[in-house]
Structure 1
Amino acid sequence: MHMQIAYWIVAALLAIVYLYSGAVKIVRSPEKLQPMMGWVASTPLAAVRAIGVVEVLGVLGLILPPLTGVATWLALAAAIGLVLVQIGGITVHLARGEARVIGFNVALLVLAGVEVWLATVWL
């Protein structure tokens, strides 16, 4: 029971971040994204939009399967996907010489990694 409570707390934190981040990537123009995401200038818009879709789908995968009791293994897959998103984000920042800005990415990576472990409660 405690793992389920912890799962939902971490899922809520990840959902807040990734719903916002994903939605922004999906709907905003590159010009509006660039001030907060410098990497957008050198990334095809389709890739930016795809990352946003992956982030939103990750949130849906964390929330809907455990909530409905259907295909609950998808919660684990979604958490792993969010770990991969952050590994990609950290890699991009490091390649661009932006090591000083990866703190938030590292925090999200840790949270998503914890969620991978917590998601095993649904297996």
Structure 2
Amino acid sequence: MNLALWIAAGLLAAVALVGGVSKTFVPRQTLGAHDGGGWTLDVSDGFVKSLGVLELSAAAGLILPAALDIAPVMVPVTAACFVLLMIGAMITHGRRGEFRYVGLNVAYFSLAVFIAWGRFGPESFTG
């Protein structure tokens, strides 16, 4: 179970890292030109960059606290916050009729729920 949680956290951290880098450093108009990125044209540049910073923080928060043994309780807290982020993503893509991306967000949501459940519960770093 511990190995599965580490793999899930690694996969989700990679997803968050890629999403965070693209939202933080790629111009909003470029993101909006790609399939599934049209929502970026409906919001401000600051909002997109803020989401990017949140995703970069999530990437770090899913791995570093446990790997460095500094406040490892932040791993499930980060996963729980990522759950909320994915709920927002599902709502946004659902409203835009981009159901393929809703499905992808459900997969990320499921990984985050698994990590939060596992690290708060049976495979807690504190127990």
Assess same fold via TM > 0.5: yes
Give me the TM-score of the superposition, normalised by structure 1: 0.91
Give me the TM-score of the superposition, normalised by structure 2: 0.89
Note if 1:101 corresponds to 2:101.
Answer: yes
- Give 1:122's aligned residue: 125
Alpha-carbon RMSD across the aligned residues, in angstroms, is: 1.2
> Runs of 5+ in structure 1 lacking a partner?
none
- Give 1:48's aligned residue: 48
Percent identity, please: 35
Q: Which residue identity does 1:14 align to in structure 2?
A: L
How far 1:45 sits from its partner (Å)? Answer: 0.9
Q: What do the CA deviations read for 1:46-81 (whole angstroms, capped 9, x no partner)?
A: 111111111110111111110111111111111011
Is the Cα–Cα contact under 8 Å of residues 58 and 78 in structure 2 kept in the other structure?
Answer: yes
CA distance in 2, matches of 1:64, 1:119: 14
CA distance in 1, matches of 2:59, 2:78: 7
Q: Which residue identity does 1:93 align to in structure 2?
A: H
CA distance in 2, matches of 1:58, 1:72: 13
How far 1:16 sits from its partner (Å)? Answer: 1.5
> Runs of 5+ in structure 2 lacking a partner?
none
Poorly superposed stretches of 4+, deviation over 3 Å: none
Is the Cα–Cα contact under 8 Å of residues 6 and 118 in structure 1 kept in the other structure?
Answer: no
- Give 2:18's aligned residue: 20
CA distance in 1, matches of 2:69, 2:21: 26
Q: Give SS of 1:70's match.
A: coil
